Structure 1
Amino acid sequence: MKRVLPAGIVLLLVIGAILLPQAGAARLSALGSFELLAEEVEVSPGVVEPLWQLVLESEAAQALPGGGRKLLLQGVSHGSAEGLGGDLLDHGVCRRSIVRGLRQYAADGDGFTPLEIVGDEWPVADGGANFQVTVGDGSQMLSFYVDKPGSEPVIVARDWHPPGKTSLLPPLVAVAFAILFRKPLLALFLGIFSGALFVRLDEGSTIVGSVAGGFVNVFDTYFWSEFIAEERAFIIGFVVFMLAMVGVMTRAGGIHGLMEAVARLASTVRRTQVATWLMGLVVFFDDYANTILVGSTMRPLTDRFKISREKLSYIVDSTAAPVAGLSIFSTWIAFEVSTFNHQLPAAGLPTSDGYAVFLRTVPYSFYCFLTLYMVGLIALTGRDLGPMLSAEKRARTTGLLIAEGATPMVSEKATDMTCAEGVTPRAWRAILPLATFLVVTLLEILRNGGAFALTMPELFTIEGFTGVLYNGSGSRPLFVGSLAGLIVAALGGIQAGIGREVPLAAWKTLRSMSVAFAILYMAWMIGAVCSDLGTASFLTALVGDKLSAPLLPTLLFLVAGGVAFATGSSWSTMSILLPLVVGLAFSMGATAELAETAQASGELLMVMSIGAVLSGAIFGDHCSPISDTTVMSSISSAADHIDHVRTQAPYALLAMGGSIVCGYFPATYFGLSPWLGLVAGALLLTLVVFVFGKKTDPAT
């Protein structure tokens, strides 16, 4: 049975991929038009610069008094080369793709941030930048010119083939091998290699050349680009410092002191699980910080009560992203708003309404609410079902916190750390480093986000404060905060009289992390491969124009889940889908009579659809073994990664089912209030848990 079920799941994945229709080449070309902006143009003999930079230095752009640039955007069109008709030409998708690309490249460049685009939805009358994208047989061309006398067009081109079903191969191979053989490193490598091979084939290489070249590209392209990326290095440093901090706190008696303090309240299995859940709700400002902090801090206590590592990683993972995604004071909200607020004019709304629109979407993030409720319900009732029930029974009856033969992301040598001999446990030796981490991280976010340069009235607004969180977010504040926490933990160790043991305690936690870091890097690498193959564009284009208005939020939820599952990134999914949703949902809703007026009806469907994408991306992330946050949850909980995904997925699917059955369907087809939908979803999950769930015998 253990082999039959995984094989059945893999078979369903393969059949589903085979049955998927092929998306139209024109739609796929329109979605990927922004990539042409990165093509280089020779501006003078021997001097080249990317097209996007040329655009922002053109007569259609001007410097803003406060810094950054303003660009006037006029015409954007998309067409097929003569004789290749038959595909729908989507000018709107192309326009939004060009706008997204300009903003993305400007944000990554020097001196062009922020970028204000006038005409991002409706073209300016004259004097603006014009783009014409033409797709041909094996090529894609972009012509750029400014609508002013004497302006000469600039043309760039690239070899291009529309993404097809082969773009699904990397995640499909990785997931299939991970499920069947429980070897995540091998599975991820094969997924990356298969993707690199098809990238080579798309470039025109022979099969032999693609195999050899693809193998080399795994290392010299995909690994190296992730290895030298500053953001990735900060994330690795953050994880290293946090785990080292926990090791030092443990040896210095801090964790034991904290456990004794918490144990007075969390004196049972149930209370310990609830305490872990509540701690996850408290650390709401960032999902990475939540994952590493809660998992590594609560693990010794959950181990004491024989709570399985699968259960701990589920509580950690299923709390972190949902609470950060819902919080209006997190590193998420400004990013989420930035992905759709510039499209709001297509719905007749000003871009300044972005935060107001986000607040309206919150009730429609059904999956986030129901997942948080599900975690609390499981913790409070002590009931489990499916593979999680088996894991909990094993842990309680045998004391095995991971399955026999499983491979934890952090070895037992690293987690089985006792307080140094002669050291008296003191909770402050854990509380002070953890508090230092939180305070320094938040201060770094505020500093990097420019909070200290704002006046009080500017800062204490939703737009001002969340803008600071967005501009200051990233892995650098986490890196600095975790380093500060480690230093304070080391000082606590010196005070405890174990100064010489501090480096050894830190190293003991980290020495078995090589496999975990390899998996984390490979998760990033497979995301890069999927980007090159156009996996997300392929899945997005399948939505096409074949939707009915009431069905749109549900399908967008599922598409977002599919894209996040395949790419392992909820943020990438949001940035790809949300710019496409506003205009599509509003135009469909305006004619669907979901409200009293066409404007209200269009806005309602738009708000539902944005909420569906936001929560669907998190759902797919929870089910994906190649998601970095899923990997980090396994690391912080010292769980077997595949077992974590396998035991979490049924609960995620239950919350997904409740979101659709009690949320999106009733809201769109019957006009049910989303709050009533959330109540109905909570009741449905409660019914399922009490009918099918069983209590695990308490530890003896």
Structure 2
Amino acid sequence: MTTLSYADSALSLLPPVVAILLAIFTRRVLLSLGVGILLGALLIADFSPLDMGQYLGQQVVGLFWDDGALNSWNVYLLGFLILLGMITALITVSGAAKAFADWARQHIRNKRDAKLLTMFLGCVVFIDDYFNSLVVGSVARPLTDRYYISRSKLAYLLDSTAAPICVISPVSSWGAYIIALIGGILTAHGFTDSGHLSVFIQMIPMNFYAIFALVLLLCVAFMGLDVGPMRQHELNAQKGNLYDEAKGLPPGANSDLPEADSGKILGLFLPITVLVFATIYFMIGSGADALAAENLPFSVIGAFEKTDVASSLFFGAVVGLAATLVLVVSQGLDKALIFKGVIAGARSMLPAIYILLFAWTIAGVIGQMETGKYMASLATGNIPFALLPAVLFVLAGLTAFSTGTSWGTFGIMLPIAADMAMGTHTNMMLPMLASVLAGAVFGDHCSPISDTTILSSTGANCHHIDHVLTQLPYALIVAGISLVGYTVLGFTESVGAGLAACSALFVVSVLVLRHKANRPA
């Protein structure tokens, strides 16, 4: 079968743009993704129905079997979702979630403290964004439900700690990946004086979006800055409607499961703690094996760079499920109830799995059409040097929004940013690389087809499009602040000046948000 490339054509934007717009206006994610997939497949197959069918068949098979071998990343990640659903359901039927909510009633004083604790947990569990969103969601949900915090707000708390924390943390799957990318880029351009880790640390204060997304989240949690669609969701939550029940149960929900009265808080925290430490063990172990296979010395950063994230999540969840089963059996729960919890937990993850499969399929279509390369090509025109950090931030955001992947955006845009810096002003190399990292996280936060956004919705048991629309105003505010910061940085070549501009605009933005949030409903 002959397929067409659209690397140099604006037509490569058509499938993701159609899918995203349909998802926003119809709020039917699977239908919207399906239309985008069919449109892209038609374009790739030059409108031949037979070739289109063959191409789609290859894409679907490739989700599970690729290049003559198991597509281990996808299979392990789906397995992790199912296992985590089982763990969460067993924690529910054991009564541990209810026991935690009862404890919270006595020790967590108010709604604000519940949100701050959720944010704190999100900052602590920084090893991987998928892991962060799903695990912190499982722990925090009983607490936020107890204080009538909407599932949309919980999803925002999860999503806006996961990626921003991971992108500035060197000891994380994101940090290791970025360090490896930047190290290769700097070496290729002859920058061998500084260590790759020290360069990454130097770039942290230049990542304006990640920094101010976290600070805005803190202000939202502390001051109750609920504006736009989020305000309506929070008002509904005060009436007991934590999510829109007219749309059915959100992914991961187990509202019909009975809860035992003999549950203990240990039944919640021990399985999650075992899951966390087992996953870290497998991440370091798989990374160490990869380093040994390449005859490289062991280091924690090196292990995270080489780790197999998906398999580590899966095997960590296997250990976590085993610990959960031991606890519920020792608690004396009826075997039929345990079995019901396991089945219900696995089934609760099916909506999230369907969305992920469709998102991965459209990502393959977008990759075939080379949408990311087309977006990157827009940065190679005659752009004034002082505007380059701001332009790269915008283009990285649009690329991540269109493709649904921040990691893919890193891989495409970072080398381009480095080449542009080498052709203009090498002293601006790191700020321009940082602007790409910031833009990619911004685009990822806004995109309905981003797997990170999907899993944040799943972790919060929130309807996916509700999460996208309620988070969007906050993401756009921080993006606007960051854009001004990168513009100032470009003209002054001073990171301090960029941060000062962002800080001043941030204070004004918070005052405006506070005024809007305090208006009568």
Inter-CA distance 554–302: structure 2 relative to 1 (3 Å threshold) = same
- Which residue in the other structure is 1:224 paired with? 61
Preserved CA contact (<8 Å) 2:252 2:352: no
CA distance in 2, matches of 1:418, 1:477: 31
- Which residue in the other structure is 1:669 paired with? 491
- Which residue in the other structure is 1:373 paired with? 215
- Which residue in the other structure is 2:240 paired with? 399
CA distance in 1, matches of 2:437, 2:305: 16
- Which residue in the other structure is 1:184 paired with? 29
Q: Which amino acid aligns with 2:96?
A: G
- Which residue in the other structure is 1:265 paired with? 107
Preserved CA contact (<8 Å) 1:234 1:479: yes
Q: Which amino acid aligns with 1:691?
A: H
1:611 aligns with 2:434: yes
Inter-CA distance 387–453: structure 2 relative to 1 (3 Å threshold) = closer
- Which residue in the other structure is 1:446 paired with? 284
Preserved CA contact (<8 Å) 2:404 2:451: yes
Q: Which amino acid aligns with 2:468?
A: V
1:472 aligns with 2:307: yes
Preserved CA contact (<8 Å) 2:224 2:517: no
Preserved CA contact (<8 Å) 2:7 2:369: no
Residues 133-192 of structure 1: CA deviation (Å, up to 9, x unaligned): xxxxx9xxxxxxxxxxxxxxxxxxx98665311111111111121112111111000101
1:504 aligns with 2:340: yes
Q: Which amino acid aligns with 2:440?
A: A
Q: Which amino acid aligns with 1:217?
A: Y
- Which residue in the other structure is 1:631 paired with? 454
Deviation at residue 474 of structure 1 after TM alignment: 1.4
Q: Secondary structure at the match of 2:164?
A: helix
CA distance in 2, matches of 1:350, 1:411: 47
Preserved CA contact (<8 Å) 2:7 2:371: no
Deviation at residue 691 of structure 1 after TM alignment: 2.6
- Which residue in the other structure is 2:68 paired with? none
- Which residue in the other structure is 1:40 paired with? none
Residues 492-520 of structure 1: CA deviation (Å, up to 9, x unaligned): 10111115022211212232433321111
- Which residue in the other structure is 1:42 paired with? none
Alignment of 1:132-147 (within 5 A): none
Identity of aligned residues (%): 32
Q: Secondary structure at the match of 1:449?
A: helix
Deviation at residue 472 of structure 1 after TM alignment: 1.6
Structure 2 unaligned spans of 5+: 66-70
Q: Secondary structure at the match of 1:542?
A: helix
Preserved CA contact (<8 Å) 2:457 2:463: yes
Q: Secondary structure at the match of 1:400?
A: coil
Deviation at residue 375 of structure 1 after TM alignment: 1.2
Residues 310-333 of structure 1: CA deviation (Å, up to 9, x unaligned): 111111111111101111211111
Residues 614-665 of structure 1: CA deviation (Å, up to 9, x unaligned): 111111011000011111111121111111101111110001011112x212
Residues 239-279 of structure 1: CA deviation (Å, up to 9, x unaligned): 11112101111211222233333443323211111111111
Structure with the bigger percentage of strand: 1
Preserved CA contact (<8 Å) 2:375 2:399: yes
Q: Secondary structure at the match of 2:198?
A: helix
Q: With structure 2 as the length reference, what TM-score do the two structures score?
A: 0.92
Question: Is 464-473 or 379-388 further displaced after alignment?
Answer: 464-473
- Give the counterpart of 2:85 among 224, 238, 243: 243
Q: Secondary structure at the match of 2:471?
A: helix
Inter-CA distance 635–244: structure 2 relative to 1 (3 Å threshold) = same
Q: Which amino acid aligns with 2:460?
A: S
CA distance in 1, matches of 2:385, 2:172: 32
Q: Which amino acid aligns with 1:575?
A: G
Preserved CA contact (<8 Å) 1:389 1:694: no
Residues 585-619 of structure 1: CA deviation (Å, up to 9, x unaligned): 13212xxxxxxxxxxxx22x111111111111111
Deviation at residue 417 of structure 1 after TM alignment: 3.5
CA distance in 1, matches of 2:7, 2:291: 47
Inter-CA distance 330–685: structure 2 relative to 1 (3 Å threshold) = farther
Q: Which amino acid aligns with 2:311?
A: R
- Which residue in the other structure is 1:358 paired with? 200
Question: Is 665-674 or 317-326 further displaced after alignment?
Answer: 665-674
Deviation at residue 374 of structure 1 after TM alignment: 1.2
Inter-CA distance 197–482: structure 2 relative to 1 (3 Å threshold) = same
1:530 aligns with 2:366: yes
1:434 aligns with 2:434: no
Preserved CA contact (<8 Å) 1:655 1:685: no
Q: Which amino acid aligns with 1:448?
A: S
CA distance in 1, matches of 2:34, 2:109: 43
CA distance in 2, matches of 1:160, 1:385: 42
Preserved CA contact (<8 Å) 2:252 2:459: no
- Which residue in the other structure is 1:564 paired with? 400
Deviation at residue 382 of structure 1 after TM alignment: 1.5
CA distance in 1, matches of 2:290, 2:63: 33
- Give the counterpart of 1:198 among 23, 33, 43: 43
Q: Secondary structure at the match of 2:424?
A: helix
Alignment of 1:550-699 (within 5 A): 550-589=386-425, 602-603=426-427, 605-661=428-484, 663-672=485-494, 673=496, 674-694=498-518
CA distance in 2, matches of 1:535, 1:351: 35
Q: Secondary structure at the match of 1:188?
A: helix
Deviation at residue 473 of structure 1 after TM alignment: 4.0
- Which residue in the other structure is 2:259 paired with? 419
RMSD: 2.3
Deviation at residue 212 of structure 1 after TM alignment: 4.2
CA distance in 2, matches of 1:616, 1:638: 27
CA distance in 1, matches of 2:257, 2:221: 26
Q: Number of matched residues?
A: 509
Residues 63-95 of structure 1: CA deviation (Å, up to 9, x unaligned): xxxxxxxxxxxxxxxxxxxxxxxxxxxxxxxxx
CA distance in 1, matches of 2:303, 2:520: 45
Q: Secondary structure at the match of 2:379?
A: coil
- Give the counterpart of 2:176 among 314, 319, 334: 334
Q: Which amino acid aligns with 1:430?
A: L
Residues 199-244 of structure 1: CA deviation (Å, up to 9, x unaligned): 111xxxxx3xx234324532x1212111332100111111111121
Preserved CA contact (<8 Å) 2:7 2:373: no
CA distance in 1, matches of 2:232, 2:420: 45
1:293 aligns with 2:129: no
Inter-CA distance 534–451: structure 2 relative to 1 (3 Å threshold) = closer
Preserved CA contact (<8 Å) 1:560 1:613: yes
Inter-CA distance 418–376: structure 2 relative to 1 (3 Å threshold) = farther
Inter-CA distance 265–514: structure 2 relative to 1 (3 Å threshold) = same
Deviation at residue 447 of structure 1 after TM alignment: 1.0
Q: Which amino acid aligns with 2:259?
A: C
Structure with the bigger percentage of helix: 2
Preserved CA contact (<8 Å) 1:384 1:696: no
Q: Secondary structure at the match of 2:329?
A: helix
Q: Which amino acid aligns with 1:506?
A: V
CA distance in 2, matches of 1:159, 1:393: 49
Q: Which amino acid aligns with 1:617?
A: A
Inter-CA distance 680–161: structure 2 relative to 1 (3 Å threshold) = closer
Deviation at residue 346 of structure 1 after TM alignment: 5.7
CA distance in 2, matches of 1:243, 1:234: 14
Q: Which amino acid aligns with 1:483?
A: V
